[in-house]
Structure 1
Amino acid sequence: MKAFGKILGLVLLGLLLIIVAAGFALTHFFDPNDYKDEIRQIARDKAHLELTLNGDIGWSLFPWLGLELHDASIATLIKPNEPYADLQMLGLSVRVLPLLRREVQMSDVRVEGLNLRLNRDKAGHGNWEDIGKLPPSPGAPGTATAPAAGEPTPPAAVEVEKPPQPIRLDIDSLTVNNARVEYNDEQTGKNFSAESIQLSTGAVHDSTNIPLKLTAFLSANQPALRVRTELNGELRIARALQRYQFEDMKLSGEVTGDPLQGKTMTFSAQGQILLDKAANVAEWTGIKISANQLRALGELKVNDLDKTPQISGGLSIAQFDLAKFVDSIGQTLPVMAEGSLSKVELVSRLAGTPTSLALDNINLKVDDSSFSGRIAVDDFAKQSLRATLKADTFNVDRYLAPKSADANSAAQARQAEVASTEADAMAGAGSTPLPNAPTKGAWSTERLIPVERLSKLDVNADLTFGQLTLNKLPIQNAVLKASGQGGLLTLEDLRGDLYGGNFAAKGTLDVRQTSPVLNMQTRINKVPVEKILESQGKNPPIKGQITLNSTLTANGNSQKALIDSLNGNTAFAINNGVLLNANIEQQLCKGIATLNRKTLSGEPRGKDTPFQELNGNLTFHNGVASNPDLKVRIPGMTVNGNGDVDLRVLGMDYRVGIIVEGDTSAMPDPACQVGDKFVGIEWPLRCRGPLELGAKACRLDNERMGQVAAKFATDKLSEKIDEKLGNKVSPELKNALKGLFKR
C-alpha cells in the first residue's frame, strides 16, 4: 500500500508538473494579440458589439486567468464608428478552479482612463438603447418572416429556464482611476458630466463590509454648475437577501456656478442607508446635513418601493440666520427691516410621495414669532400649496418692502401740499380763506399685483394669529382663510379685533383678465377711527368709534388704477366722537353775531367739538364718493352735510348746515346769545380741502349766509308789521304784505 500511495503521489505530481509546464508554454508561446480579429468577430457574433483593440493584450493562465487590455473601445453594431466607451487599461485576474464552482475569485481589478459617452439624439433616441442589437437588414439571418398564406403557424416552443444560481463574488479590491462619464441631450441642449472619477474599495465579499471611497467633479451646462464631491463609507451587500447597506456614509463637497452668482456653497451629509428590496423598504437614519450656515438632523423611510413610494420621517433644522444663508448662496431676498429672518428654526414630521410633500406637527420659529400646524404641497407640478398654521404673534410689516421711490415721491408731494394748506386752515378764528381743493395725486402708479405668479397659484390657507401687525395695525385674534386656483383668488374670511372693536372682510381678486378685478365686502364695528389714522402717521381730524359696511369693486394693477376705478357703496357711523381742532361753536357764534350786528368780545374756551353721532352713506363712482346725507348730532344742534370725497387726491368739498335745536342758554359771549328767534335756522358752512384737515377745513359759507340774513330780516319785518298794524287791518292784508317782502 505504501508503494501504491507513493506511486500515486508521483503520478499526481507529474500531472501537476505537466499542467504547469503546459500553462507556462501556453502563456509564453501563445500570443492572444495574434487573434485580435477573431476576438473582435466573437464580440460581434456573441455580444453584438464592435470591439476595437488598439493596444496589446496581456494574459496569464494558471492559477490565475489574468487579462490586461490596453487602449480599447466599444461601439454598437448599429453605429460601429461612434464608440460609447473606451479605456486606457483594464487589468483583472480570476482563479481558474473556483470558476468551475460558479465562484468568481478575483485579485485586484484596475480600470484606468474609462470614458463613457451617453447621447440622446434630436429624435429622443439614446445610444445605449442599441447595445446588444443587430443592425436592421432585410433577409438577414434572424429576421422574422411572416408565414405564407395557407400555411399553419408553427407552435411556439416553450422553454422553461431554471433560475440561475447566484454567482459568489470575491474580489480583493477594485480601483478606478481618472474615469469620465458624459451625458448629452440634443433635444434640450443639456449636458451633464462626471470627471476625474476616482474609486477605490477594499476586499469585495458578500455580506461583509466593503470600505469605499469615491471622488468626482460633476458639472452641468443649463445652468452652468460645478460640484466637487467626496463619498466615504462601508458598503455591505447581501444578494441572497436582496439587502444593501451603506454604513457610516459621509458625502461632502462644494458647489459653484451661475445659480450661486460666483459664490460657493459647502455641503455635507452623513447617515446610515439601507435598501431592502425583499421588503420594498429604504431607510436613511442618523441624518446629519449641513450647507454653509444651515445644520439639520433627521430620518427618512420609504415604503412600497414596488408601488407608489410612501415617504415618512422627521426633520430638525437648528437655529440659523436665513438672510445670511440666502446671501451666501448668491440669492437675494426682498428688502426687509434690519435683522429680519436672522433667527429661523424648524422641527417637523415629514410625509410624502414622489409628487407631494407634507410637513406635519410643525414647530417653526421665525425671529420673534412661533408657528405650529401643517404645510403641504399636494402636487409639485401644479405647485398646490396647503397651509394650516397658528401663530402667537407676527409682524407682517417687518417683512414687506419699503415704499418705492414713486410712492414716496407722490406721498412727499402730497404732504407738502397738505402742510402748506394746513398752515392757513386753522378754524380757531374762522377768518382765514377757505382752503383750496387738493390737486396732487395721492397714489402710486407702480405695478402692485404679481399677475403672472398669482395666475399659476394653487393655494388653500387657514391662518390664525394671537396678534398680527399689518400696516402698523395691531390686530388681535386674527383669522385669515384664503384660496386661489386658476387665477381666481378668494378671501373667504379675514377678521380680527382692533383697538377694542372688530372687523371682517371677504372678497375676490380675478387675475384671469387683462386688468385684475377686485371685489371686497368689509365690515368694521366700533373701531376708534383716530387710532387707525395715528397708526398711519397721520394727525386725526376726528375721534370716535366707527361702524362701517361697504361693498366695493375696482380694477387695475396699481394703487392709482384701483382708486380711479373704485365703485360701490358704503354706510358709516361714528358714535361718541369729537371733531378735533374744529370749534363749530365759534363758527356758529360768528354767524349769530353777524345777524345780531354785534362783535364777538372774546375767543371760545374750547377748541374741539364733541358729537353724539356722525353718519351717512357714500356712493363711489370712479374714485369719487358722493355723500348726500351726512348728519352729525351735537348737543343742542344738528349738522347736515352734502358733498363729495375725491379719493384720487384725498380731497373733500362739502356744504354743511347747522340747525340750532332750542338751546337757549346764555352763551359766554353776549354777541352769541341764542334765543327763540334763532331756533330752526340752518347756519351754512363750507368745508373744502385735503381730507386730513377734517373740520379744520370748514368756514362760514358767506354765499348762503346772505340767504339766512334775508330770511332773518324778513321774519323781523313780519314782526314789525304785526306790531304796527295790530288788528287795524284784516289778516288777509297782513299776510299779503308779509309775502311781498319774502319775494
Structure 2
Amino acid sequence: MKAFGKILGLVLLGLLLIIVALGFALTHLFDPNDYKDEIRQLARDKAHVELTLNGDIGWSLFPWLGLELHEASIATLNNPKVPFADLQMLGLSVRVLPLLRREVQMSDVRVEGLNLTLSRDEKGHGNWEDIGKPLPAATPAPAEGAGTTPADAAAQASTDSASERPIKLDIDSLTVNNARVQYNDARSGQSFGAESIQLSTGAVHEGVNIPLKMTAFLSSGQPVIKARTELNGELRFDRRLKRYQFEDMKLSGEASGEPLQGKTMTFAAQGQLLVDLAANVAEWNGLKLSANQLRALGELNLRDLDKTPQLSGGLSIAQFDLRNFLDSIGHPLPVSADPSTLSKVELVTRLQGTPNSLALEDLAIKLDDSTFSGRLAVEDFAKQALRVQLKADKFDADRYLLAKSDAAKGAKAARQAEVQSKEAGALAGAGTTPLPDAPTQVAWSNDKLLPVDRLRKVDLQADLTFAQLTLDKLPIANAHLKAQGQGGLITLETLRGGLYNGDFESKGTLDVRPAVPQIGLNTRINRVPVEHFIKSETSTAPVKGLLTLNSDLTATGNSQKALVDTLNGNASFVINDGILVNANLEQQLCQAIATLNRKTLSGEPRGKDTPFQELKGSLVMRNGVASNPDLKARIPGLTVNGQGDLDLRVLGMDYRIGVIVEGDKRDMPDPACQVGERYVGLELPLRCRGPLELGAKACRLDKDGLGKVAAKLAGDKVSEKLSEKIDEKLGDKVSPELKDALKGLFKR
C-alpha cells in the first residue's frame, strides 16, 4: 500500500512536470504574433469587433495566463476604419485553475494610454451601440419541420445556467495611466472630454472596501469649461444584491471657462454614496459641498430609479457673502442702492424634485436683516416655471434697487438746483416777487428699469407677504403682493398694505410681448398723509393732509422718463384736514384787497401756514401732462376754485385760482386789508406757476385778473351812487318794482 502511494505520487509529479514542460514549450515555442490574422478573424466572428494589433503580443500560460497587448485598437464592424478605442499597452495575468471554477484571480492590471472616443451622429445613433453587433446578413431560415432536439435544449439550458452564475473577481490592483475619453454629439454640437486620467485601486474583491484614487482634467465644448478633479474613497459592491457603495468619497478640484468669465472656482464634495438597484434607491448621506466661500451640508435621496426618479432630502447653506461669491465666479451683480446688501445670506430647506422640477420646501432664508420662510420651486425647468410663496418679517426693497447712473444723478442734481433757486425767490416776500418760471429740468431718469428679455420667458406665480415692507421710502405694514406671469404678460393681482394709518391697493399688468413694454395700473389710496408722496430730499413737503385717491393709468417704455412721457388715464383725489406749508395765502389775499383799496399793507409778511378742510379735484392725463379742471378747496373764511395743469415730466404746475375771501380776521387787522360790503362774494384771482414742490409758495396775484376785478368794483360803485340818487329823487312817488328796474339799468 505504501508502495502504491509512492508510485501515485511519482505519477502526479510526473504529470505536473509534463504540464510545466508543455507550458514552457508553448510559451517559448509558440509565438501568438504569428497568428495575428487568425486573432483578428476570431474577434470579427466571435466578438463582432474589428481588432487591430500594431504592436507585439506577449503571453504566459501557467500558472498565470498572462497577456500583454501593445498598440491595439478596436472598431465596430460597421465602421472598421474609425476605432472607438485604442491603447498603448494592456497588461494582465489570470490564474489558470480558478478559471475552471468561474473565479477570476488576477494580478495587477495595467492600462497605458487608453483613448476612448464616443460619438452620436445627427440621427442620434451612438457608435457604441454597434459594439459586438455583427454586420447585417441574411440568416437562413430553419428547414421546414426542423426543430430543437432534446439534446440541443439540454445543452442550451446548461449554457444559460452557467452564464447566470456570477464570476467571482479577485484582482490585486488596477492601474490606468494617461487615459482619455472624448464624447461628441453632432445633433446638439456638445462635446465632453476627460484627459490625463490616472486611476489606481487596491485589491479588488467583492463585498470588501476597495481603496480608489483618480485624477483627471475634464472639459466641455459649449460652453467652454475646464476642470481639474481628484476623487478619493473606498468602493464596495455586491453584484448579487445589486448594491454599490462609495464610502468616504471626496471629490475636489478647480474649474474655469466661459461661464466663469475668466475667474476660477475651487470646489469640493464629500459624503457616503449608496446605490441599491434591487430597491431602486440611491442616497448621498453626510453631504458636504463647497464652492469658493460657499459651504453647504445636507443629504439627498433618490427613489423609483427604474421609473421617474423622485428626489428628497435636506440642504443647509452657512452664512456667506452672496455678492462676493457671484463676483468670484464671474457673475457680478449690478451695483445696488446699498452696496452692503446680500453680504449675509444663509438658507435651510427641505428638497423635493424630479428630473424636470425642484422645490425648496419649508424654506428659511436669512437675507441681511430680513428673514423669509415658505416655498420656492421651479415646476418645469424647460419652461422656467417659477413658483414663490414667501413670508418675511421685514424687507427694505429700496436697498436692493439698482443704483442710479451718473447721468440720472446729474439730472436730479440739476433739477434740485433749479427748484432751490426758484424757492429762494418765492420766499423773498409775501407774494411781492415775480411769478416763478415753469421748471425746465426733466425730473426722471433714462436708466433701464426692467430686464425685458428675461421677463418674456418667465412663467411666474408669486405670493409674498411682509410684516413690514419699505418701498420708495414708504413703510408699508402687512404688505401683500400677488402676481403671475406667462408668455410675456405679467399680472399684478394685488399689492396692498397699511401706510401711515391709512391703506392702499394697486392692481395692474405689464406686457413685455411688444418691442416696447406696456404698463397698466389701477391704484386706490385711502387717507394716507400726502406729504410722504411729494416731499423732496432738500425741503419739506408743500402740502400736508390725508390723501384719498383713485387712478387708472397706462404708460409705455422701460425707463422713468419714458413711462412719464407716455402717461395717460384718469384720477380723482381728495385731501382732508390739510395745511399749505409756509404759504400765507391770507397775506396774499390781503395784498389783493389792499391793492383794490389803493392802500399799502403796514404789517410785515408772516411765514404762516394756511390750513384747509378739503382740497379735491379730478385729473385727466395726456402724455405726462395732467389737466385739472375742477380744483376746489375749503379753507376757513375762504372758498377756492381753480383750474390748471400739472406737467409731470418736469414736475411743474400752472394754475389760475379764484378765491372768495372774508378779509383779515386777526384781532388787530391791517387797515389796508379790511373788507367792506362791496367785497362780499367777490372772487380774487391768483396765478400759481413753478415747480410742484413749491406748492402755494409759487402763487401770486393775477394782476390782469385783478384789473378786471377793480374795473368791476368801480362800475359797482357808480351803480351804487346812481341808486342812491334814484331813491332820493323818486322817494315814494313810484312803486318799489319800478325803482329796482331803474337801478338794474345802471348795474354791470
The aligned counterpart of 1:347 is 348
Please give the alpha-carbon distance, in whole angstroms, between the structure 2 residues aligned to 1:472 and 1:206.
68
Please give the alpha-carbon distance, in whole angstroms, between the structure 2 residues aligned to 1:539 and 1:281.
67
Deviation at 1:727, TM superposition (A): 5.2
Q: What's the secondary structure of 1:723's corresponding residue? A: helix
Shift in alpha-carbon separation, 1:126–1:543, aligned structure 2, 3 A: same
The aligned counterpart of 1:285 is 285
Structure 2 counterparts to residues 123-134 of structure 1, below 5 A: 123-134=123-134
Amino acid corresponding to residue 440 of structure 2 in structure 1: T
Please give the alpha-carbon distance, in whole angstroms, between the structure 1 residues aligned to 2:596 and 2:477.
53
Deviation at 1:611, TM superposition (A): 0.7
Deviation at 1:144, TM superposition (A): 5.0
Q: What's the secondary structure of 2:426's corresponding residue? A: coil
Deviation at 1:94, TM superposition (A): 1.0
Please give the alpha-carbon distance, in whole angstroms, between the structure 2 residues aligned to 1:594 and 1:88.
111
Please give the alpha-carbon distance, in whole angstroms, between the structure 1 residues aligned to 2:42 and 2:664.
122
Deviation at 1:592, TM superposition (A): 1.4
Superimposed CA distance per residue, residues 542-596 of structure 1 (whole angstroms, 9 cap, x where no aligned partner): 1111111111112223322222222211111111111012111011111211222
Amino acid corresponding to residue 482 of structure 1 in structure 2: A
The aligned counterpart of 2:369 is 368
Deviation at 1:135, TM superposition (A): 4.1
Please give the alpha-carbon distance, in whole angstroms, between the structure 2 residues aligned to 1:737 and 1:429.
44
Q: 2:138 aligns with which of 119, 135, 143?
A: 143
Amino acid corresponding to residue 361 of structure 1 in structure 2: D
Q: Which runs of 5+ in 1 are unaligned?
A: 137-141
Q: Which runs of 5+ in 2 are unaligned?
A: none
Deviation at 1:661, TM superposition (A): 5.6
Query: 2:459 matched to 1:464?
Result: no
The aligned counterpart of 2:438 is 437
- Of 216-225 and 658-667, deviating more is 658-667
The aligned counterpart of 1:37 is 37
Superimposed CA distance per residue, residues 108-148 of structure 1 (whole angstroms, 9 cap, x where no aligned partner): 11111111112334454432233223445xxxxx325899x
Amino acid corresponding to residue 513 of structure 1 in structure 2: P
Please give the alpha-carbon distance, in whole angstroms, between the structure 1 residues aligned to 2:716 and 2:312.
91
Q: What's the secondary structure of 2:716's corresponding residue? A: helix
Deviation at 1:181, TM superposition (A): 0.8
The aligned counterpart of 1:52 is 52
Shift in alpha-carbon separation, 1:587–1:664, aligned structure 2, 3 A: closer
Query: 2:582 matched to 1:576?
Result: no
- Partners of 1:73 and 1:83 within 8 A in 2: yes
- Partners of 2:397 and 2:471 within 8 A in 1: yes
Please give the alpha-carbon distance, in whole angstroms, between the structure 1 residues aligned to 2:74 and 2:259.
37
- Of 639-648 and 258-267, deviating more is 258-267
Structure 2 counterparts to residues 715-726 of structure 1, below 5 A: 715-726=716-727
Q: What's the secondary structure of 1:423's corresponding residue? A: helix
Q: What's the secondary structure of 1:479's corresponding residue? A: strand
Please give the alpha-carbon distance, in whole angstroms, between the structure 2 residues aligned to 1:471 and 1:428.
34
Deviation at 1:721, TM superposition (A): 2.0
- Partners of 1:472 and 1:536 within 8 A in 2: no
Please give the alpha-carbon distance, in whole angstroms, between the structure 1 residues aligned to 2:665 and 2:60.
131
Deviation at 1:691, TM superposition (A): 1.2
- Of 704-713 and 69-78, deviating more is 704-713
Q: What's the secondary structure of 1:39's corresponding residue? A: helix
Shift in alpha-carbon separation, 1:75–1:665, aligned structure 2, 3 A: closer
- Partners of 2:664 and 2:670 within 8 A in 1: no
Amino acid corresponding to residue 445 of structure 1 in structure 2: N
Structure 2 counterparts to residues 525-536 of structure 1, below 5 A: 525-534=526-535
Please give the alpha-carbon distance, in whole angstroms, between the structure 1 residues aligned to 2:234 and 2:622.
75
Give the count of matched residue pairs. Answer: 735
Please give the alpha-carbon distance, in whole angstroms, between the structure 1 residues aligned to 2:147 and 2:354.
46
The aligned counterpart of 1:139 is none
Superimposed CA distance per residue, residues 191-222 of structure 1 (whole angstroms, 9 cap, x where no aligned partner): 32111111111111111111111111112232
The aligned counterpart of 1:488 is 489
Please give the alpha-carbon distance, in whole angstroms, between the structure 1 residues aligned to 2:242 and 2:28.
43
- Partners of 1:576 and 1:611 within 8 A in 2: yes
Shift in alpha-carbon separation, 1:559–1:240, aligned structure 2, 3 A: same
Please give the alpha-carbon distance, in whole angstroms, between the structure 2 residues aligned to 1:66 and 1:538.
94
Shift in alpha-carbon separation, 1:69–1:47, aligned structure 2, 3 A: same
Query: 2:389 matched to 1:388?
Result: yes
The aligned counterpart of 2:234 is 234
- Partners of 2:615 and 2:634 within 8 A in 1: yes
Amino acid corresponding to residue 174 of structure 1 in structure 2: L
Deviation at 1:4, TM superposition (A): 1.9
Query: 2:608 matched to 1:613?
Result: no
- Partners of 2:663 and 2:673 within 8 A in 1: no
Q: What's the secondary structure of 1:23's corresponding residue? A: helix
The aligned counterpart of 1:166 is 166
Superimposed CA distance per residue, residues 672-711 of structure 1 (whole angstroms, 9 cap, x where no aligned partner): 1224332211111111112111111111111111222222
The aligned counterpart of 1:322 is 322
The aligned counterpart of 2:79 is 79
Amino acid corresponding to residue 143 of structure 1 in structure 2: A
Using structure 2 for the length normalisation, give the TM-score: 0.94
- Partners of 2:492 and 2:507 within 8 A in 1: yes
Shift in alpha-carbon separation, 1:557–1:321, aligned structure 2, 3 A: closer
Amino acid corresponding to residue 192 of structure 2 in structure 1: F
- Partners of 1:427 and 1:583 within 8 A in 2: no
Please give the alpha-carbon distance, in whole angstroms, between the structure 2 residues aligned to 1:98 and 1:282.
34
Amino acid corresponding to residue 400 of structure 1 in structure 2: L
- Partners of 1:666 and 1:673 within 8 A in 2: no
Shift in alpha-carbon separation, 1:444–1:664, aligned structure 2, 3 A: closer
Deviation at 1:740, TM superposition (A): 4.8
Please give the alpha-carbon distance, in whole angstroms, between the structure 1 residues aligned to 2:262 and 2:334.
20
Please give the alpha-carbon distance, in whole angstroms, between the structure 2 residues aligned to 1:243 and 1:496.
56
Deviation at 1:99, TM superposition (A): 1.1
The aligned counterpart of 1:68 is 68
Deviation at 1:45, TM superposition (A): 1.2
Structure 2 counterparts to residues 505-524 of structure 1, below 5 A: 505-524=506-525
- Of 66-75 and 535-544, deviating more is 535-544
Please give the alpha-carbon distance, in whole angstroms, between the structure 2 residues aligned to 1:401 and 1:438.
27
The aligned counterpart of 1:97 is 97
Shift in alpha-carbon separation, 1:78–1:665, aligned structure 2, 3 A: closer
Please give the alpha-carbon distance, in whole angstroms, between the structure 2 residues aligned to 1:153 and 1:255.
67
Superimposed CA distance per residue, residues 481-523 of structure 1 (whole angstroms, 9 cap, x where no aligned partner): 1111111101111111222222111111111223222111111
The aligned counterpart of 2:419 is 418
Q: What's the secondary structure of 1:424's corresponding residue? A: helix
Please give the alpha-carbon distance, in whole angstroms, between the structure 1 residues aligned to 2:266 and 2:496.
45
- Partners of 1:115 and 1:180 within 8 A in 2: yes
- Partners of 1:427 and 1:698 within 8 A in 2: no
- Of 555-564 and 202-211, deviating more is 555-564
Using structure 1 for the length normalisation, give the TM-score: 0.94
